[in-house]
Amino acid sequence: MPTTHEPHQRRRRRSAEERASRRSDVNATSLSSYLFPGEGFEVSGIGRNTIFNKNSPQRYKINSIDNLPSAKMCSYHGTIRLFVQVLWAHLLCGWAFGSELTFELPDNAKQCFYEDITVGTKCTLEFQVVTGGHYDVDCRLEDADGTVLYKEMKKQYDSFTFTAAKNGTYKFCFSNEFSTFTHKTVYFDFQVGEDPPLFPNENRVTALTQMESACVSIHEALKSVIDYQTHFRLREGQGRSRAEDLNTRVAFWSIGEAFILLVVSISQVVLLRSFFSDRKTTTTRVGS
């Protein structure tokens, strides 16, 4: 039974032991996965400044039991780490499996693009004319042997999906040769293959965990957001082009009408003045 005059050092040691016992309810699974991920480490007990491994007699020294993360903190860090991995995988998938481009197609011109595709790969070609003329263009898609897979004339937008039957370089071309004066701005998106799974064992027989299901849902939502952003960006560009074209026409018509009004006004003034002009009369005498 300690007295009231117990030494200060002993009281500090006792309080430290009490704090250690209060923190001994740390979630062992979360703690082991946070401190030693992927090492088969399982916590069997937490001693004073020591962690005991259930699978081996090895001990791990720590600075202080108060610095150990709680189960809630372990779950928080795991969520952040998994969310960052999902975002990174989403960006890599977008760069690796998609070709997206907006380019200008001059009048009487033809532009072709090439892509190496392996047999059995599912591909999708989507295009849309953003600006220029009647917003139409010719499109042609050929396989590695030159066989025409898709051909459309004067299309404003369209989408075509196919599965590659041969290995080689596939070619798709956009033509504006039928136009003599106007150039076009064309957008296309060429998707090759399917997106890889977010997790190595995503296609397993067992059900996904709640965290994995949430990450898959976030991934699909982000893909939908990108598609909607692209769609509205193209509509905004097309609407802005039409508004600028309409503004130019209105400006020219306004200048023309002002010039015609000025000419008509001057003509009317000249015509009215001709009615009231003084004419000199000459008199001739008969028989003089």
Q: Which residues pair with 129 in a beta bridge?
A: 186
Measured in residues, the chain has a length of 288
| The pLDDT value given to residue 284 | 64
For residue 175, pLDDT over 50 is answered with: yes
Is the same domain home to 104 and 235? yes
The pLDDT mean for the chain works out to 73
Is the same domain home to 231 and 117? yes
In this structure, is residue 85 part of a structural domain? no
Is the same domain home to 146 and 187? yes
Is the same domain home to 15 and 121? no
In this structure, is residue 179 part of a structural domain? yes
pTM summary value: 0.53
In this structure, is residue 255 part of a structural domain? no
Is the same domain home to 24 and 132? no
Q: Which residue has the higher pLDDT, 78 or 226?
A: 226
In this structure, is residue 144 part of a structural domain? yes
Which of 26-30, 140-144, 210-214 is the most confident on average? 140-144
Is the same domain home to 174 and 228? yes
In this structure, is residue 283 part of a structural domain? no
Lowest mean pLDDT among 3-17, 70-84, 88-102, 263-277: 70-84
In this structure, is residue 220 part of a structural domain? yes
Predicted confidence band of residue 97 (pLDDT cuts 50, 70, 90): low
pLDDT (mean) for 88-94 = 45
- Overall number of domains in the chain: 2
- Provide the domain limits for residue 26: 10-69
In this structure, is residue 260 part of a structural domain? no
| The pLDDT value given to residue 202 | 60
